């Protein structure tokens, strides 16, 4: 499965191919490259097995293995792919930069690009890394990129540290505010739905109420400055909110129970694929015409 090309100020990260084998073998012919690895990749058999594993990768879209080019020269390889050692198939980042190019911040530049791709473009909830406990240079790179050390264990026959980085708050929604004509009516429908999705009541005042999930919150308010008594989602402005739901089964349960809380289905004749064959979702409208789309993550 192919991965996108990523360009940074000094590097080009592109899909690793069989054509990179000779150049990569020269990088790993240096025994020092395998100092912190479970296998000595200067051994041709071990190197070939490593390349075959990377080239045969068939995992989630957008994840996989990259060649790291600098001015047309292969100087390393990197991956962002489901972990082979950490539980749950979590996304793990790893990298190798040729010894002759170390100490120039290139590892930091490459990994930062992969984190931006994974956390911002793919929307991964976290990215993990597994680093030998005595690999001080690599741990320093990851700390610089915001990774947190969350524990240690033995992997590949040696003590390793487990590190994780989460999406930054920068650029993410702080809050969303909906002005409604009837607060009690809105709260009956939205309060049930948001609570079912894990949101918790955050603030309450005479004209409004809010619910919070993580760093973001949603406000329902009957503002004294409200002009008009009806919401029309086909006019300029908010059309709908789309919220993640963990599984398809949970989408089905919420869709089935929604009528008891003031919601009516939209596009019912095309449920659950009104958004396309690969898109599993329920579209609901509340009593005031506000639409919500409940999208299955898996």
In whole angstroms, how far apart are CA 81 and each of 69, 92, 139, 228, 242? 19, 6, 19, 51, 27
Mean pLDDT of the chain: 94
Give the CB-side neighbour count of residue 36, counting CA atoms within 13 A.
Answer: 16
pLDDT in tens, 35-91: 988 889 999 999 999 999 999 999 999 999 999 999 999 999 999 999 888 877 799
| Bond before 272 cis per omega within 30 degrees | yes
CA dist 279 and 36 (Å) reads: 43
Q: How far is CA 142 from the centre of its chain?
A: 18
- Banded model confidence at residue 271, pLDDT cuts 50, 70, 90: very high
Q: Which residues of 49-63 are buried (b: 16+ CB within 10 A; e: fewer)?
A: ebbeebeeeeeeebb
Angle at 27 between CA 71 and CA 85, to 5 degrees: 110
Say which DSSP state 37 is in: S
pLDDT in tens, 26-41: 999 999 998 988 889 9
Tokens of 19: 């054509």
* Beta partners for residue 149, in sequence order: 163
Residue with structure tokens 């409208």?
Answer: 285
Q: Which of 7-11, 110-114, 130-134 has the lowest mean pLDDT?
A: 130-134
Say which DSSP state 254 is in: H
Q: What pLDDT is stored for residue 1 in this prediction? A: 57
* Residues listed for the chain: 298
CA dist 275 and 283 (Å) reads: 9
For the chain, which domains are there?
6-165 (3.40.630.30), 175-296 (3.10.180.10)
- Closest C-alpha among 68, 50, 134, 123 to residue 91: 123
Q: Can you give the pTM of this predicted structure?
A: 0.78
Q: What pLDDT is stored for residue 46 in this prediction? A: 95
**Element spanning 186, H or E:** helix 183-196
Residue with structure tokens 């059309």?
Answer: 239
pLDDT in tens, 207-242: 999 999 988 999 999 999 999 889 999 999 999 999
């Amino acid at each position: 499965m192919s991965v996108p090309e990523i360009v940074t100020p000094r590097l080009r990260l592109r899909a690793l191919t069989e054509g990179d084998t000779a150049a990569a073998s020269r990088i790993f012919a240096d025994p020092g490259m395998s100092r912190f690895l479970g296998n000595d990749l200067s051994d041709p058999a071990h190197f070939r097995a490593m390349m075959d594993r990377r080239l045969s990768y068939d995992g989630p879209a957008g994840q996989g293995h990259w060649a790291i080019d600098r001015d047309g020269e292969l100087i390393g390889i990197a991956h962002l792919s489901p972990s082979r050692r950490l539980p749950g198939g979590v996304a793990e980042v790893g990298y190798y930069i040729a010894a002759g190019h170390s100490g120039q911040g290139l590892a930091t530049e490459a990994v930062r690009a992969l984190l931006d791709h994974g956390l911002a473009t793919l929307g991964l909830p976290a990215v993990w890394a597994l680093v030998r406990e005595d690999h001080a240079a690599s741990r320093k790179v990851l700390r610089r990129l915001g990774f947190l050390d969350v524990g240690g264990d033995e992997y590949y026959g040696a003590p390793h540290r487990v590190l994780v980085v989460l999406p930054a708050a920068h650029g993410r929604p702080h809050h969303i505010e909906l002005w409604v004509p009837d607060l009690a009516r809105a709260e009956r429908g939205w309060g049930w739905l948001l609570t079912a999705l894990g949101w918790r009541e955050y603030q309450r005042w005479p004209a409004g109420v809010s619910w919070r999930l993580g760093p973001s919150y949603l406000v329902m308010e009957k503002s004294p400055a409200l002009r008009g008594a009806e919401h029309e989602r086909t006019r300029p402005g908010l059309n709908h909110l789309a919220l993640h739901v963990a599984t398809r089964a949970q989408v089905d349960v919420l869709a089935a129970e929604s009528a008891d809380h003031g919601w009516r289905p939209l596009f019912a004749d095309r449920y659950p694929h009104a958004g396309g064959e690969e898109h599993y979702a329920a579209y609901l409208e509340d009593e005031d015409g506000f639409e919500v789309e409940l999208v299955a993550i898996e």
